[in-house]
Amino acid sequence: MTAQYQQQGSVAVITLDNPPVNGMNLETRLALVNGVQRALDDTATRAIVITGAGKAFSGGADIKEFNTPQALAEPNLHTVIDLIENAGKPVIAAMHHVCMGGGLELSLGCHYRVASQGCQVALPEVKLGLLPGAGGTQRLPRVVGLEIALKMITTGTPELAGNLSQTALFDEVVDGDAVAAAVAFAGKIADVRPLPKVRNRQVNPAQAEQILAAARTQAQRGFLNAPRQCVETIAAAVRLPFDEGLQFERNSFYELVLSTESKALRHAFFAERAASKIPDVPASTPVRSITTAAVIGAGTMGAGIAMNFANAGIPVMISETSAAALEKGLATIRKNYQNTRDKGKLSPELCEKRIGLISGTLDYNGIAAADMVVEAVFEDLNVKQSVFEKLDAIMKPGAILASNTSTLDLDRIAAFTKRPGDVIGTHFFSPANVMKLLEIVRGQATSKDVLATVMALSKSMKKIGVVSGVCDGFIGNRMLEQYLKQAGFLLEEGCLPAQVDSAVEKLGFAMGPFRMSDLAGNDISYAIRKRRYAERPDVINSKVADKLCEIGRFGQKTSAGWYDYQKGERTALPSEQVNQMIKDHSAQVGIERRTIADQEITERLIFALVNEGAAILSEGIAQRASDIDMVYLSGYGFPLHLGGPMFYADTLGLPYVVQAIKRYATGHYGSVWTVTPLLSELADKGLTFNK
């Protein structure tokens, strides 16, 4: 049973019951239709209340039904809403906790709506590259007005019923139980005829054109098409009679469902959920309790990592080698929290509470009782060795020992201890308190319960945890190395930094490779390259970036990198000195510079990611292609509407990617390209990375 039927006097109460959020799947729709029909047939019933069991009216479409024939099977949501809207007895929606997507559309088909103050209402379809397809774009503006409807539908952001109590969306907004209030309300209106229908209302046309023009300008700013379509579909509610508007909505919806953009956004949605699943670590795996934590090192990363523990409500102690370093780290933390508070994003109480959860020590023994410790000291194996030996000696049995290393071999780090099963990598991204991605590095010996615990912890820190095996650079940075390598070659062959950056930024990347390197600090990748030169002298790399560092241009921190920066400013200004240095370098290495098209730039950069991603996948470093996409979407500013590098390659067609790589392999630095066997195998078989 996915809906319960109950009689309260002359009112029939139908309760959707499809945990966890009463998703409107086929079974639930059928149960609802049966319930409504039964109430209509029952002469003793004068009114019908529809509500949801548990902590939701309805969260909308059932995601398990996505892309299945059941999603459209009759009775589909249109049919259900038609039945309710045309019912001869009043139907009242009793909305509480969560009423979203198809759930809100269903309530808009009811004759009356009663909600609890705290009920969250939203039409979030735009977040999946879609628009509300069951009348939401036509009915919502008729009850809340054009401006609120545009905001809700183009952003998908939830709004509290209490904040909309003055609009015609609700007939009553109550403090207490919405169902009891709806039943009482039913008693008052049971005999009122004609029954009110949202479809018969008009959208207030006052200043409609100005409001729509502003919304169009806003929607044009982003890379996504769905918000633009949402605006046009809402505009149809102003311009067209209801039924024509509904048809317009339906056509736009089907257009979006088939778009690559929506497929990419839905891929990202499912990829995020898939990332939390580890095939050999079932959900039932016991987790260790993390009630106190410690961080070693109060530098760039340590300070941000400590904030993540505090944000999750876990007291955390930071250990440092000097009072000055400790105080600097703690001051950064206070400043970060205060900035967030000043922007109104954190209440003063919560700000103080979080600052209060973070303390410092210069004595290692002070952290011995912590349930988990994250090491964030210098990226040097000898330093890590001394830290892990010390941790092994002092930490209580069962404590989780994590390293934030970005490139070092976690298995070697684990071997510095006598408890390698307790050692794991937690690779946070900078700024650690902001970036969503957390690469969770699973060593050879990492215990399953340690892995399960850190996966759960990443959720309480509101991070997207993606598991990576051990390799140099893990998933993200190992791929990035190939991407940056191509970026360097492009400079030598004829590009300047601004051209390369703008080519990928036009595709929707948050930042091109050179602006990104200036932000991260060119000295960091320089140090890694120098280590590589020593370890693998045969590796071919552009030397332009090394030259940049040799003249002290480390990026924003020195107000000079690939670009010039005004002191304290972040705007990248093309640098004559750097551009000349690049041209001179090409001459020195004997390359005749040529004009390079944007398509070549973007393909060489992205296909370098894809080719390395394929290697990572075939080596089992990543569990699935969608995990790689998640790493790039949440940690590297890859455009969401392209779905991540592996998904993007799938949409282009893998044979195309293989052909292009083979073509680039004939270029000046072509010898660095070898098509990864998995990529060519999938291309040959007409398959894709993502199933």
Beta strands in 139-262 (DSSP E): 159-160, 172-174
Strand 11-16 vs strand 47-52: parallel, antiparallel, or unpaired? parallel
CA 448 to CA 442: how far, in whole Å?
9
Which residue has its beta carbon closest to ligand NAD?
299
Beta strands in 64-215 (DSSP E): 91-95, 98-100, 112-116, 120-122, 159-160, 172-174
- Judged by beta carbon, residue 84 or residue 298, the one nearer ligand NAD is 298
- Catalytic member of 65, 74, 85, 125: 125
Phi then psi for residue 523, to 5 deg, are -65, -30
**Burial of residue 576 (number of CB atoms within 10 Å: 0-12, 13-18, 19+):** exposed
- Helix, strand, coil % (nearest 5) of the chain? 55, 10, 35
Smallest distance from ligand NAD to CB 406, Å: 4
Smallest distance from ligand NAD to CB 452, Å: 23
Smallest distance from ligand NAD to CB 374, Å: 9
Cα–Cα distances in angstroms (integers) from residue 550 to residues 482, 522, 573, 581, in the given order: 22, 10, 20, 12
Strand, helix or coil at 50?
strand
Q: For residue 423, give both structure tokens.
A: 């050692």
- Judged by beta carbon, residue 372 or residue 682, the one nearer ligand NAD is 372
- Judged by beta carbon, residue 333 or residue 682, the one nearer ligand NAD is 333
Spatial neighbors of 54 by CB under 8 A, at least 6 apart, are 17, 19, 20, 21, 22
Nearest to 96 by CA among 122, 62, 58: 58
Beta strands in 142-268 (DSSP E): 159-160, 172-174
State how far Cα 328 lies from the chain centre.
Answer: 31
Q: Is 492 a catalytic residue?
A: no
Spatial neighbors of 215 by CB under 8 A, at least 6 apart, are 150, 154, 231, 234
CA 36 to CA 45: how far, in whole Å?
11
CA 516 to CA 519: how far, in whole Å?
5
- Judged by beta carbon, residue 120 or residue 634, the one nearer ligand NAD is 634
- Judged by beta carbon, residue 181 or residue 438, the one nearer ligand NAD is 438
Q: For residue 659, give both structure tokens.
A: 């052909």
Nearest to 457 by CA among 288, 306, 297: 288
- Judged by beta carbon, residue 520 or residue 631, the one nearer ligand NAD is 520
Smallest distance from ligand NAD to CB 416, Å: 13
Smallest distance from ligand NAD to CB 525, Å: 10
- Judged by beta carbon, residue 90 or residue 521, the one nearer ligand NAD is 521
Smallest distance from ligand NAD to CB 376, Å: 4
Smallest distance from ligand NAD to CB 323, Å: 11
Smallest distance from ligand NAD to CB 379, Å: 3
Cβ 416 vs Cβ 389: under 8 Å: yes
Smallest distance from ligand NAD to CB 485, Å: 19
Query: DSSP label at 271?
Result: H
CB atoms within 10 A of CB 148: 17
- Judged by beta carbon, residue 208 or residue 438, the one nearer ligand NAD is 438
- Catalytic member of 65, 85, 105, 439: 105
Q: Is 272 a catalytic residue?
A: no
- Judged by beta carbon, residue 298 or residue 491, the one nearer ligand NAD is 298
Cβ 48 vs Cβ 16: under 8 Å: no
Q: By the criterion CB under 6 A, which residues form the site for ligand NAD?
A: 296-302, 319-321, 325, 376-379, 383, 387, 404-406, 428-430, 520
- Judged by beta carbon, residue 388 or residue 669, the one nearer ligand NAD is 388
CA 530 to CA 516: how far, in whole Å?
20
Smallest distance from ligand NAD to CB 119, Å: 41
CA 152 to CA 566: how far, in whole Å?
39
Buried b (16+ CB within 10 A) or exposed e, 420-438: bbbbbbbbbbbebbebbbb
Q: Which residues are catalytic?
A: 105, 125
